[in-house]
Structure 1
Amino acid sequence: MKFDLHTHHFRCGHADGNIRDYIEAGITAGLSVIGISDHTPYFGRSEDRPFPKITMGKREFAGYVEEVLKLKQEYEGKIDVLLGIESDFFPEHAEVYRKTLNQYPFDYVIGSVHSVGKVSIFNKNRWKSLKESERIATKEAYYELIRESARSGMFQILGHIDAMKGNYPAFSDIPTAKAIDDTLQTIADNGVVIEINTSGKTKLSGGWYPSDAILERALHFGVDVTFGSDAHTPERVGDEWDLVLTRLKEIGFTEWVYFKNKQKISVPL
């Protein structure tokens, strides 16, 4: 049974295609389940859309939910369309995000850390001229935010938990094994799932998020996993699903999961 829980569309301002395009691509890719999970609006400011190329506007949000729910009914029997969302995690704004998201019938919410110290995790210039101790501190701050997101109770899934390597591949070599282990233990303790996200191939790092080394530690700590292409074009829906399945078996996983009505559903590998 094939599924993909992480897809975007035009509303976020940096993806191509409409929701129907992604559903049709899912059918073509042989998916039984597709999750639509565009970026939430930025709820930390009063403007409708302070970041037009990053998130949808607040005024678009209800329409997004309504469209997914209508398409869920239309495609019933052909493919199971799930209402998801990818939410940034900002500790200072967590309660307004929680209150807003709880107003809608999401099947799942993906929580993703996209900035550390108010700088995008994908900004490779942040690493210039940093001492080793400063690189370690930055990476540890990233994982502390991920731990906070796991403890928040807001999310079923945590998105791309080593994506800070995306445009700075040397990130993976910064020595913070304890921080990663502590993060995986926290994720396990709070019953949150991590995704294998195949969009890393679109960045300088290539490959998937997270690394095989982190997936091996995730198995050790009993962390459940799911799949998300993080498609920003319909052509990437389900991208490398079969390769991920094979690699998870090699690592030692026996199942992965998806969510419906925020209930975890296990699928044997």
Structure 2
Amino acid sequence: MNFDLHTHHFRCGHADGSIRDYIEAGISAGLDVIGISDHTPYFGSPSEQAFPRIAMAKSELVHYVEEVLSLQKEYEGRIDVLLGIESDYFPEHAELYRKTLAAYPFDYVIGSVHSVDGNSIFNKSRWKGLSPEQKLAAKAEYYRLIAESARSGMFQILGHIDAMKGNYPQFSEISAPREIDECLQVISECGLAIEINTSGGTKLCGGWYPSDEILERALHFGVEVSFGSDAHKPSRVADQRNNVAARLKEIGFKHWVYYKRREKITVAL
């Protein structure tokens, strides 16, 4: 059972192609299951579309859901199209996000921390002039937020849990084993999966998220894993999926998971 649960499309403002383009790319890549999981609108902002180059407008959410459900029926028997979404985690707006997303029949919700202390995790400038202690504090807060998102009960999958290294590869060199282990233990206790996300190859860090070291720790704590290309163009659907599967087996994982109607489905590696 071949799956990719993390794809975007034109509505978010920074991806190319239609939902249909990603479904067709999934079929061409030999997938049995493709999840459509564009970014949630910024519900916490009073604006209709606070960041047009980052996330869809609030009014587009219902059209997004309707389109995915329509294509789900159209492609039945050819590929299983799942209705997902990638949600930001903002503690101050968590209940608003929870209530809003609960109104739709999502198969799964990916929870991703994209901002720490009001600053994008991908902002290269955020690291300029910081002392080693300040860098460690930023990394610790990142993993604290991820752990908090796991405890929220809003998500089935946590997205790209070391993506803060994306445009700052030195992030991986900031030693925070205790914070990472505490986060992984919470994820395990809450029964969530983490995704192996291959979009790191499009950033300065290269490779995928999370690192092999974190995956080894995740296995130790009993954290389950899923897969998402985080494709922002159809050509990246299922990118490196087979390589990821092979590496997971080398690390010691026996299976990975995806979600349908919020229920976990286990697939042998």
* TM-score when normalising by structure 1: 1.00
Q: Deviations over 1:103-142 (max 9, x none)?
A: 0000000000001011000001111111100000000000
- CA RMSD in angstroms comes to 0.3
Shift of 1:158: 0.2
Map residues 209-248 of structure 1 onto 2, 5 A cutoff.
209-248=209-248
Q: Do residues 78 (structure 1) and 42 (structure 2) align?
A: no
Structure 1 gap ranges (5+): none
Q: Deviations over 1:199-223 (max 9, x none)?
A: 0000000000000000000000000
Q: Do residues 23 (structure 1) and 17 (structure 2) align?
A: no
The aligned counterpart of 1:251 is 251
The aligned counterpart of 2:48 is 48
Whole-Å separation in 1 of the counterparts to 2:265 and 2:126: 39
Map residues 90-109 of structure 1 onto 2, 5 A cutoff.
90-109=90-109
Q: Deviations over 1:48-107 (max 9, x none)?
A: 101000000001000000000000000000000000000000000000000000000000
The aligned counterpart of 1:6 is 6
The aligned counterpart of 1:154 is 154
Whole-Å separation in 1 of the counterparts to 2:13 and 2:24: 21
Shift of 1:47: 1.1
The aligned counterpart of 1:193 is 193
What is the percentage of aligned positions where both structures have the same residue?
Answer: 71
Secondary structure, aligned partner of 2:42: coil
One-letter amino acid matched to 1:129: G
The aligned counterpart of 1:180 is 180
Whole-Å separation in 1 of the counterparts to 2:147 and 2:253: 23
Query: Alignment length, in residue pairs?
Result: 269
Whole-Å separation in 2 of the counterparts to 1:83 and 1:111: 15
The aligned counterpart of 1:205 is 205
Secondary structure, aligned partner of 1:167: coil
Whole-Å separation in 2 of the counterparts to 1:45 and 1:55: 12
Structure 2 gap ranges (5+): none
Whole-Å separation in 1 of the counterparts to 2:221 and 2:145: 19
One-letter amino acid matched to 2:162: D
Q: Deviations over 1:192-250 (max 9, x none)?
A: 11000000000000000000000000000000000000000000000000000000000
Whole-Å separation in 1 of the counterparts to 2:195 and 2:97: 21
Secondary structure, aligned partner of 2:227: strand
Whole-Å separation in 1 of the counterparts to 2:175 and 2:6: 29
Whole-Å separation in 2 of the counterparts to 1:45 and 1:8: 21
* TM-score when normalising by structure 2: 1.00
Secondary structure, aligned partner of 1:58: coil
The aligned counterpart of 2:165 is 165
